[in-house]
């Protein structure tokens, strides 16, 4: 069984084999509660962190923060040395050069801040991935101003950066790859949007916590056994709605139905999308059953095997269904059935601790 992950960003558990001094300090942890409350208050008031936000985010003035970069700090120190030398030796040209470079640094603050100001950020659709792969989250930047924005960076962990340029009056899409170590619904978390344009003397940044999600399917078993043997539909020779021989009527269209079975004449008569049904000998159906996996395997291993079977059945163009505890998906074929089964496996919670 999996151990639930802490939901709060301020929850921290001692590391394994913690030394004695850590365990002594852990007694004092309740005394740090007021400081944690103060930190949460500062995050909400100063950094405008209100949790996940739906829709788009506009980088207004209160969302953007700016400080000297490492090179900016060296630049300020050099200016102070130049000013000290000019004062000591009474160098008029030294004063002119120092103040001109200082004015250049002040102007870079304005341009660095303006490079982020009024940008609108929204989340795009993230494609589903398998456990162990990288989830790709899309961020859409809209520049409604008359100035182009250059070298806009994004990072989630501070180590891997992505940069884009956004032309004036245009939008641009950037992708951030985040490892997906667990199945289920994955969110990107807090993303830092930053820039050092134009001179690299200042570092301006803002936080974006968008309401984006990515479905992470279970890990694929590499050496799974062959698919279970398919069987006829309920063991009957004839079945309505699943055969391929005689026309049996119409039913409402469902996503994933074959375009060859759509009643296009009925659609032309403005009767809506309908799907043709046929009677005759039904195709053999394959049930991928949770009970068909060994009980000696843990939950994740059984889900990995079922994931492998779903992919193999879809590749072989077999009509298949999925049976899980408290969940049953009727047999069907096609991409829609594949996605439904994989999503059911990704969101399966049987045996998890809550």
Average pLDDT over residues 73-90: 95
DSSP 157: S
pLDDT of 303 over the 60 cut: yes
Q: Supply 288's token pair.
A: 């991928």
User: Is the whole model's pTM more than 0.75, yes or no?
Assistant: no
Q: Which of 42-56, 195-209, 340-354 has the lowest average pLDDT? A: 42-56
DSSP 322: E
pLDDT at 241: 41
Choose among 210, 170, 179: nearest CA to 57. 210
Higher pLDDT, 199 or 263: 199
Average pLDDT over residues 16-36: 53
Residues with Cβ within 8 Å of 269's Cβ and at least 6 positions away in sequence, in order, are: none
Answer for the pair 281, 293: CB distance below 8 angstroms, yes or no: no
Residues 299 and 136: their CA atoms lie apart, in Å, by 26
pLDDT in tens, 202-238: 999 998 888 889 999 999 998 888 888 776 554 433 3
Residues 12 and 10: their CA atoms lie apart, in Å, by 6
Answer for the pair 202, 108: CB distance below 8 angstroms, yes or no: yes
pLDDT at 89: 92
Residues with Cβ within 8 Å of 250's Cβ and at least 6 positions away in sequence, in order, are: 263, 266, 274, 275, 276, 277
Residues with Cβ within 8 Å of 55's Cβ and at least 6 positions away in sequence, in order, are: 122, 211
3-state secondary structure (DSSP) of residue 335: helix
**How confident is the prediction for the chain on average, in pLDDT?**
81
pLDDT in tens, 31-55: 556 666 676 666 666 666 666 667 7
Q: Which residues of 39-61 are buried (b: 16+ CB within 10 A; e: fewer)?
A: eeeebeeeebeeeeeeeebebee
3-state secondary structure (DSSP) of residue 240: strand
Torsion of CA 239, 244, 246, 251, to 10 degrees: 70
Choose among 117, 127, 81, 123: nearest CA to 101. 81
DSSP line for 268-303:
HTTS--EEEEEEEEPPPEEEEEGGGS-TTS-HHHHH
Pairing mode, strands 274-281 and 171-179:
unpaired
pLDDT at 284: 61
Q: Any idea where the domains of the chain sit in the sequence? A: 50-217, 233-346
Alpha helices in 46-91 (DSSP H): 70-89
């Amino acid at each position: 069984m999996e151990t639930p992950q802490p939901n709060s960003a301020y929850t921290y558990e001692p590391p394994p084999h913690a030394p004695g001094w850590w365990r002594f300090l852990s007694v004092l942890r309740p005394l740090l509660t007021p400081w944690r409350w103060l930190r949460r208050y500062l995050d909400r008031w100063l950094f405008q962190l209100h949790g996940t936000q739906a829709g788009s985010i506009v980088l207004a003035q209160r969302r953007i923060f700016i400080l000297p970069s490492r090179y900016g700090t060296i630049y300020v120190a050099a200016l102070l040395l130049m000013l000290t030398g000019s004062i000591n030796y009474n160098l008029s040209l030294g004063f002119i050069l120092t103040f001109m470079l200082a004015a250049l640094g002040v102007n870079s603050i304005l341009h660095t801040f303006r490079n982020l100001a009024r940008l609108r950020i929204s989340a795009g659709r993230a494609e589903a991935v398998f456990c162990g792969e990288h989830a790709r989250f899309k961020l859409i930047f809209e520049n409604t101003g008359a100035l182009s924005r250059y070298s806009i960076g994004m990072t989630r962990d501070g180590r891997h950066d992505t940069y884009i340029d956004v032309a004036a009056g245009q939008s641009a899409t950037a992708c951030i790859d985040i490892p997906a170590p667990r199945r289920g619904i994955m969110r990107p978390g807090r993303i830092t949007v930053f820039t050092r344009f134009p001179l690299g003397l200042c570092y301006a940044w803002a936080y974006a916590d968008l309401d984006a999600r990515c479905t992470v399917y279970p890990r694929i078993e590499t050496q799974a056994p062959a698919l279970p043997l398919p069987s006829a539909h309920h063991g009957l020779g004839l079945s309505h709605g699943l055969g391929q021989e005689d026309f049996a009527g119409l039913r409402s269209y469902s996503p994933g139905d074959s375009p060859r079975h759509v009643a296009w004449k009925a659609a032309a008569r403005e009767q809506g999308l309908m799907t043709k049904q046929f009677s005759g000998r039904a195709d053999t159906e394959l049930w991928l059953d949770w009970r068909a996996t060994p009980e000696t395997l843990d939950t994740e291993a059984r889900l990995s095997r079922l994931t492998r079977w779903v992919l193999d059945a879809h590749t072989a163009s077999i009509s298949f269904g999925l049976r899980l505890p408290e969940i049953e998906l009727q047999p069907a074929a096609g991409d829609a059935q594949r996605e439904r089964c994989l999503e059911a496996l990704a969101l399966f919670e049987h045996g998890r601790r809550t």
